[in-house]
Amino acid sequence: MCFKIVCNSSLLLLLLFGLNALVSSNNLAGYEGYTKYTLHHDDEAAYRYMVDLQTTDTDVDFWLLSRNMSVLTVAPQLKSQFESRLSQLGVQYQMQPLMELMAALEGNSTSYGDEYEECQSGDCDTQRSHNRQRRQSRGIFGHFPRYHEILNFMSGLANRYPLHCRYESLGRSNEGRHIAGLSISLNQRVRPRRVAYIQAATHGREWITTQTVLYLAYELLTNLRAFQRVLHDVEVFIVPLVNPDGYEYTHTTDRFWRKNRHRYAGHGCTGVDINRNFGNHWNSKGASQNLCSEVYSGVQPNSEPETAAVVRYLEFNRHRVKLSLDVHSFGKFIFYPYGFARGAVPPTVNTLRSVALRAANQIGKYRGTRYTIGTSASILYEASGSLDDFAYGTLGIPLSYTLELPGEEFHVATFDILNVCKETFAGFVEFIRHVSLY
């Protein structure tokens, strides 16, 4: 067994300083005493224990679960029992107090505050100079914006590029927030035959996903001439915040909140995992009917307003949508269907894999980031009710993927946001480029 202990007093003071700053923001206030574990388990019995633990125990939160490695946090009341079980299974692990880890991560993060220029309502008009647009966009990609700032940025793009961009709402979340979308095409007066649908922030804590999708919109709109061939007869439709309630909650109350914010009368636990709520093999594997579970799948398929909004859009446009891309974090994976069972192989697996390999290759050209490609069931674990299985298996959308971005601990330093956006943009463009083949 491996234990990680900080002994340097000056480092400890630095961590405590950062810790105080974090706790004052209140979104880590409930995590005192929690421990992060990184596990290495090559044994099948240990892997099955992790899979079962994910769906049955509410005192653990898996950040990553693969066949030979897992990253998770454990509540203090379960710590002794958990470590005892790891010893029985012969699992090697490293551990670190969660609050210490987050303080260190915060200390290594640098903001681009001097470049930020907020786009207030009424300020994003067509008279703004190109340089000012550049400063504003660098600003939003130099930190993690809140819900209203994201909507302001989206509406600002629509106002500045009315011939090529339309801002709309697919519906409202459990708490009444807009599930906002942007339609981008060469000419909004002509309805393209094909749609590339891209969504982000299905899980509230995955902040970097929203940034990459916003960056895609910004780069396409400010460089339309360069992407005319890619966008020929293709509409790109982006939804940067599928789970706006969960996203806001991670900023105000619980940094690691995953689910939506559906409240159930008479119950202390809240939320449904939207990525287990889609109606394809719903609740069959890797999901739970325990309301307190991180992978609670809801009372029935497509039960959540956030899920239903996405389903309505995709069903209405099912004959036009050729690409469905669900952006998550973290792990650096590209998954294609099917995720609900390890032995389920889609009939077009060769095409799905080929396109994913091309996208991964384009991402890697920026700074060498490497992605692993396959089904989530074969690489990680079996999980039902995801968007990629629903889009491909139920709606027949030919190109359907889940993209897991970088960002260990769901944290990307602010100075690295733009780099992740730029490398991911190259992958997005490659995916979109293949839409024209259908």
Collapsing DSSP to helix, strand or coil, 165 comes out as: strand
Burial environment of residue 370 by CB neighbours within 10 A (0 to 12, 13 to 18, 19 or more): exposed
Q: Can you tell me the distance from the alpha carbon of 372 to that of 356, in angstroms, rounded to the nearest whole number?
A: 10
Mark whether 303 and 239 lie in a shared domain.
Answer: yes
Mark whether 187 and 99 lie in a shared domain.
Answer: no
Q: Yes or no: say if 205 and 256 are a contact pair by the CB < 8 Å rule.
A: yes
In a domain, 64, yes or no: yes
In a domain, 1, yes or no: no
Q: At what angle do helices 98-107 and 9-25 cross, to 10 degrees?
A: 90
pLDDT in tens, 325-351: 999 999 999 999 999 999 899 999 999
> Which residues lie across from 306 on neighbouring strands?
none
Any idea which of 100-104, 238-242, 335-339, 384-388 has the lowest mean pLDDT? 100-104
* CATH number for position 268: 3.40.630.10
Mark whether 202 and 283 lie in a shared domain.
Answer: yes
Q: Which domain holds residue 91?
A: 9-107
Q: Yes or no: say if 117 and 138 are a contact pair by the CB < 8 Å rule.
A: no
115 pLDDT higher than 60: no
Burial environment of residue 223 by CB neighbours within 10 A (0 to 12, 13 to 18, 19 or more): exposed
Mark whether 375 and 243 lie in a shared domain.
Answer: yes
Q: How many domains does the chain have?
A: 2
Residue where one domain finishes, among candidates 65, 81, 107? 107
Mark whether 390 and 366 lie in a shared domain.
Answer: yes
Catalytic residues: 404
Collapsing DSSP to helix, strand or coil, 243 comes out as: coil
**Between the ranges 45-54, 110-119, 306-315, where is the mean pLDDT highest?**
306-315
Q: Which residues, in sequence order, are CB contacts of 350 under 8 Å at separation 6+?
A: none
Report which residue type is found at 29: A
pLDDT in tens, 156-209: 999 999 999 999 999 999 999 999 999 999 988 888 899 999 999 999 999 999
For 20-32, what is the mean pLDDT?
Answer: 68
Q: Which residues, in sequence order, are CB contacts of 329 under 8 Å at separation 6+?
A: 206, 207, 208, 209, 404, 405, 406, 407, 410, 412
Q: Yes or no: say if 224 and 164 are a contact pair by the CB < 8 Å rule.
A: yes
Mark whether 96 and 134 lie in a shared domain.
Answer: no
